[in-house]
Structure formats: C-alpha cells, structure tokens
C-alpha cells in the first residue's frame, strides 16, 4: 500500500491520520500547520496535535542515486551536462536577440507617438486660444462699434484722472457711515441663524468635480492667478491670467462672455461688481482698470500707485475701491469719477501684499511683506491694530461675514484665525510642511472657510473641522470662491484650469 501526504504529495516518513478529515499527513508538516492555523487543512475543522493517529508502516528504504562507478561513466555524465548547458545557452541567446528587436521597435513607436501627441497638443492649444478670442466677439461685435464712454475718451480706453488726492469729504464719510449702519442692522436681524438654503456639511463632504475648463486663458503663458464670482448672477465667473487678460465665463452655457484685454502685465486681482455688469482688475503694471463687460472695454483706468498693485477690495457701497501696492501705500479711490480720494503710506516701510474690506466697510485689513496683518480705520485713515505671529509675507486675508473673524495666511504653512473683538489669535490651522496658501475665502453665511494652495480644502467654522479636500489640480491652486449658499465651489490654478465642485 502506498501512503501519500496530503500536504507535500510525497511518501511520509512518519504518517498519521486526521480524525477530522481522514486524510494522511507527514506528522512533521501537519504539526507545524496546526501550530499556525489550529485546524485541519482539508476541511478547516479545529484540530490539535494530540488528536492525530499514527499509522504503523515498515520503514521506507529510499533507492540510492546512481553513482559513477567508473571513469567512462563519469566522462559520459559530464559530456551530457555540457551538451545540455550549451543547448540552453544557445536558446537564451536567441531569446535575447528577439527581445532586443522587440524593444527597439517599441521605443521607435513610443518616440513617434510622443512627437504626434506634442504636435496635437500644440494645435489644440492654438485652437482653444483662437476659439476663446472669437466667442466673445460673436455676441458683442455690434456693440463694440458704439462710441466709447466719455470717461474713457483717450485711445485704447485709457481714462484721464488726477493722481493727486481729492480728500475724504464729509459727504463721502457720511455715505460710508450710512452704509455701515444699514449693514450692521441687517446682520443683527439675521442673528446667528444659518440660511435654510445653505448646503449642509454632509452634502459638502459629498462634493465632486463637476467640470474642468482649461481654455479660458492662453496656453503659451499658462496660469490663472485670480478668481471671483458675480453675486447677482451666479453663472458668471471672472478670472485673471498670466496672459495679461481677464475672462468672464458663463458656467451654465460653458461659453466665454468677454475677454478683457488692456493690461501690460499679468492680471493678479479681479473683482466682479455685485450689482452691475462691471469688472475691476489689477496688475503689476501699477494700473487698476474698471471694465464694462458687455463691450469688453475699459471704462476707467486708475493710476494710484508707483509699484505693482498687490491687493484689491470693493467697498460695500459698490462705489469705491481699496488697493495696496509694493510701493508701501494703500489707496482709496472712487470708481465712478476716477478720483483718488486718499493714499496712505505704511509707517513700517514694508511693501503691502493684500487688502480686504471688513463687511461693514469702515475698517479694512492689509498684509505686509514683513509678516504683519494690520487693521485700519478708513474714516480716520489710521492704523488701529496689528496682528503678529506669521513668518514670511502675508499671502491672503479674508473677513468672515459675521464681522468677528479674520483669516490670514503667509508663507508659513498655516492659517491663523483672529477675533476682532478681543484682537487676538484664537485658532491656528496647521497645514502640512511646505504647504503654500494662495487664497482664503469664507462663504456668504460665514459657515465655511476654504483654502487654496497646494490643494483645495474646506473647513467648518467655529469647530474648524476639515470637511473636504480636493486634489484635482495638477499645479498650485491660486483662487477659490463659494457660490451662493455654497451650492458650488470654484477654484483656479497655475495648471490653467477653472474647476467647479458640487453635487451631481
């Protein structure tokens, strides 16, 4: 009778039977299996070594391997091994030659494919750029033939306006105060109630990428640097690019509404007027331009600074704009008349990097190159508070709609939250080492905070809990904005894309 081990399929030296499955095993192997698994390998039933039943068989006499008992036999064995080795070597050389030929052919095909793909990408980029230029012209060609507004009487739509300060008149100050009073009363009426239409935390966690639009700006100088959404028409999105242009895009029709050309350097700041079809842009060319979107023409050109414009914020009245510059000054201008009302130098003599109005419009914040965040009184034109704690230039600041919180970021991989009532830092969101923050944005209810930089992140305010991270951009994200009631989120990036997130 021949016994075969169920594990090794060899004749066992010490055979035994499992009472659970009735199978034959080599005792040495089955004991090791039981130690590791504590069950029968055939049917998986629990099994211990003590339950194994030995099988008594006569000892196995293994045949001895043949040995070379003479010199001719030894020579014959060596000759056979040599012949086998040569045959194997010949086969290996044939396979190597075949593999070399196949690899050479594959590399040639890959190189040819790469050349074709590069040529096609270049043609697609050129076609997109041409299409982006043609789309706005189809709807406004007749309008552009109309005379320029009187305020932009010079060639090219460049407006003439005095650069000297007109001063903050009592009428202007009263207008600012009246608007602040109305906004404060409206905020008190709202209280702390959250709008019913606001997207819940659970839904926001389920946001997906709904669309990606790479054709808004030129591919020859890639990168979108600024972003804003029209509050009165949520379908219109404004972007500023490295290609010196600003673009108005309709996300619903996926059509470019207007391409605004006029800056001589990249467009780094953009604002969509909340109540009018008007756009405000700023650039390192030291100019601020006010555009009429239907005609794609400059209505007004403000030259308030001697250096690159680094910050731009529209006053809640919709009539005035705040700007900061690396020339160490902030300026407050009238976008209706083009007058520079006041221009104030920062006493620290460091360039300013960002600007943002408080929701009431009577105070505003600026960021500096030496890591300071400064709060200014607009009516008094004075610095009323300073927030220190960052390292590196301030890259973004944003006031919460409730008027209590200020979020700031710098080149130190963190976002700091400040309480404007107590004038202190109450929370620091520490990000990954090397994380770059380029933009901050609260939603209109002050419930969510979004961060744009190495990726796009959304936090729940008060708890400051991370709700969602979007990693779709292939380069640094430069802007992020919430749609109305956070029904969607828009972001821009140096990868030349505008991405939209929401619920499908």
- CA distances (Å), origin 134, targets 108, 140, 219, 246: 39, 10, 16, 15
- Residue 250 sits in the same domain as residue 398: yes
Q: What is the pTM of this model?
A: 0.68
Cα separation, 287 vs 156, in Å, equals 14
Cα-based angle 461, 462, 467 (whole degrees, multiple of 5): 40
| 28 assigned to some structural domain | yes
- Residue 487 sits in the same domain as residue 356: yes
- Residue 30 sits in the same domain as residue 174: no
| 69 assigned to some structural domain | no
Task: With a cut of 70, say whether residue 356 has pLDDT above it.
Answer: yes
pLDDT band at residue 236 using 50, 70 and 90 as cut-offs: very high
- Residue 56 sits in the same domain as residue 174: no
Question: Starting at the edge strand that comes first in sequence, how are the strands of the sheet with 53-54 ordered?
Answer: 24-26, 15-17, 53-54
List the alpha helices (DSSP H) in 18-70.
Answer: 27-37
pLDDT band at residue 132 using 50, 70 and 90 as cut-offs: low
Q: Which of 113-122, 214-223, 297-306, 397-406 has the lowest mean pLDDT?
A: 214-223
- Residue 174 sits in the same domain as residue 47: no
| 184 assigned to some structural domain | yes
Cα separation, 169 vs 50, in Å, equals 102
- Residue 49 sits in the same domain as residue 176: no
- Residue 45 sits in the same domain as residue 186: no
CATH code, 424: 2.130.10.10
pLDDT band at residue 1 using 50, 70 and 90 as cut-offs: low
Cα separation, 198 vs 201, in Å, equals 9
Identify the CA nearest to 197 among candidates 445, 402, 399: 445
When pLDDT is averaged across residues 463-488 and rounded to a whole number, the result is 92
294 against 126, higher pLDDT: 294
| 35 assigned to some structural domain | yes
The tokens for 71 are 């010199």
Cα separation, 277 vs 156, in Å, equals 20
pLDDT in the model for residue 133: 62
What percentage of the chain exceeds 90 in pLDDT?
A: 57
Instruction: Show the domain range for 28.
Output: 1-60
Return phi, psi of residue 252, to 5°. -75, -45
pLDDT in the model for residue 159: 38
pLDDT in the model for residue 106: 94
Task: With a cut of 50, say whether residue 150 has pLDDT above it.
Answer: no
Q: What is the mean pLDDT of the chain?
A: 87
pLDDT in the model for residue 332: 93
| 93 assigned to some structural domain | no
The tokens for 314 are 């529209």
- Residue 181 sits in the same domain as residue 56: no
Reported as type and span, the H/E element at residue 476 is none
- How does pLDDT run across 90-114, given as a tens digit for each residue? 889 999 999 999 999 999 999 999 9
| 444 assigned to some structural domain | yes
Asked if 444 contacts 450 with a C-beta cutoff of 8 angstroms, the reply is no
pLDDT in the model for residue 148: 41
Task: With a cut of 60, say whether residue 60 has pLDDT above it.
Answer: yes
Asked if 205 contacts 468 with a C-beta cutoff of 8 angstroms, the reply is yes
Q: Which of 36-45, 185-194, 332-341, 444-453 has the lowest mean pLDDT?
A: 185-194
- CA distances (Å), origin 304, targets 131, 161, 317, 333, 341: 35, 10, 20, 8, 10
When pLDDT is averaged across residues 405-417 and rounded to a whole number, the result is 92
- How does pLDDT run across 183-226, given as a tens digit for each residue? 888 877 776 677 888 998 898 999 999 999 988 888 788 889 99
What percentage of the chain exceeds 70 in pLDDT?
A: 91
- Residue 387 sits in the same domain as residue 264: yes
When pLDDT is averaged across residues 162-189 and rounded to a whole number, the result is 82
pLDDT in the model for residue 163: 60
- Residue 350 sits in the same domain as residue 488: yes
140 against 286, higher pLDDT: 286
When pLDDT is averaged across residues 424-453 and rounded to a whole number, the result is 92
Q: Which of 11, 34, 60 is the last residue of a domain?
A: 60
pLDDT in the model for residue 366: 94
When pLDDT is averaged across residues 451-462 and rounded to a whole number, the result is 93
Q: Which of 40, 60, 80 is the last residue of a domain?
A: 60
- How does pLDDT run across 19-53, given as a tens digit for each residue? 999 999 999 999 999 999 999 999 989 999 999 99
- Residue 357 sits in the same domain as residue 214: yes
Asked if 478 contacts 455 with a C-beta cutoff of 8 angstroms, the reply is no
Total structural domains within the chain: 2
Residue 154: CA count within 13 A, CB half-sphere: 7
CATH code, 8: 3.30.40.10
Q: Which of 12, 37, 60 is the last residue of a domain?
A: 60
When pLDDT is averaged across residues 10-17 and rounded to a whole number, the result is 90
- Residue 283 sits in the same domain as residue 410: yes
| 78 assigned to some structural domain | no
| 136 assigned to some structural domain | no
């Amino acid at each position: 009778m021949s016994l075969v081990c169920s594990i090794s399929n060899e004749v066992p030296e010490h055979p035994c039977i499992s009472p659970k499955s009735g199978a034959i095993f080599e005792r040495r192997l089955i004991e090791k299996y039981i130690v590791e698994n504590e069950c029968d390998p055939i049917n998986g039933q629990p099994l211990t070594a003590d339950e194994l039943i030995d099988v008594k068989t006569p000892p196995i006499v293994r045949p001895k391997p043949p040995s070379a008992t003479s010199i001719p036999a030894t020579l014959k064995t060596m000759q056979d091994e040599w012949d086998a080795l040569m045959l194997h070597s010949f086969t290996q050389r044939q396979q190597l030659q075949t593999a070399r030929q196949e690899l050479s052919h594959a590399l040639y095909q890959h190189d040819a494919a790469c050349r074709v793909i590069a040529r096609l990408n270049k043609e697609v980029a050129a076609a997109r750029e041409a299409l982006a230029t043609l789309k706005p012209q189809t709807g406004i060609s007749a309008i552009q033939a109309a005379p320029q507004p009187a305020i932009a009487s010079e060639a090219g739509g460049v407006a003439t306006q005095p650069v000297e300060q007109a001063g903050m008149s009592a009428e202007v100050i009263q207008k600012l105060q009246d608007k602040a009073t109305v906004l404060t009363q409206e905020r008190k009426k709202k209280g702390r109630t959250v709008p019913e239409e606001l997207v819940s935390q659970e839904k926001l966690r389920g946001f997906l990428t709904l669309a990606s639009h790479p054709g808004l700006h030129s591919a020859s100088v890639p990168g979108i640097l600024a972003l804003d959404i029209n509050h009165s028409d949520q379908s219109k999105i404004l972007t500023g690019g490295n290609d010196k242009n600003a673009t108005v895009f309709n996300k619903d029709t996926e059509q470019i509404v207007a391409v605004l050309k006029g800056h001589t350097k990249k467009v780094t700041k953009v604002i969509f007027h909340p109540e009018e079809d008007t756009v405000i842009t700023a650039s390192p060319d030291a100019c601020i331009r006010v555009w009429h979107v239907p005609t794609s023409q400059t209505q007004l050109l403000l030259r308030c600074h001697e250096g690159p414009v680094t910050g731009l914020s529209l006053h809640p009245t919709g009539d005035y704009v705040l700007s900061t510059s690396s020339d160490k000054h902030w300026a407050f201008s009238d976008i209706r008349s083009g007058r520079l009302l006041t221009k104030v130098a920062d006493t620290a003599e460091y360039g300013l990097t960002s600007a943002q109005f408080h929701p009431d419009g009577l105070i505003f914040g600026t960021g500096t190159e030496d890591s300071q965040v400064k709060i200014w009184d607009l009516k008094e034109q004075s610095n009323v508070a300073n927030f220190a704690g960052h390292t590196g230039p301030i890259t973004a600041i944003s006031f919460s709609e409730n008027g209590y919180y200020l979020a700031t970021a710098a080149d130190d991989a963190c976002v700091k939250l400040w309480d404007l009532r107590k004038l202190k830092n109450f929370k620091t969101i520490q990000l990954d080492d090397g994380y770059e923050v380029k933009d901050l944005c609260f939603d209109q209810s002050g419930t969510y905070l979004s961060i744009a930089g190495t990726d796009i992140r959304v936090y729940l305010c008060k708890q400051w809990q991370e709700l969602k991270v979007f990693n779709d951009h292939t380069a640094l994200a430069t802007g992020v904005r919430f749609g109305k009631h956070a029904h969607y989120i828009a972001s821009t990036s140096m990868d030349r894309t505008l991405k939209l997130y929401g619920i499908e």
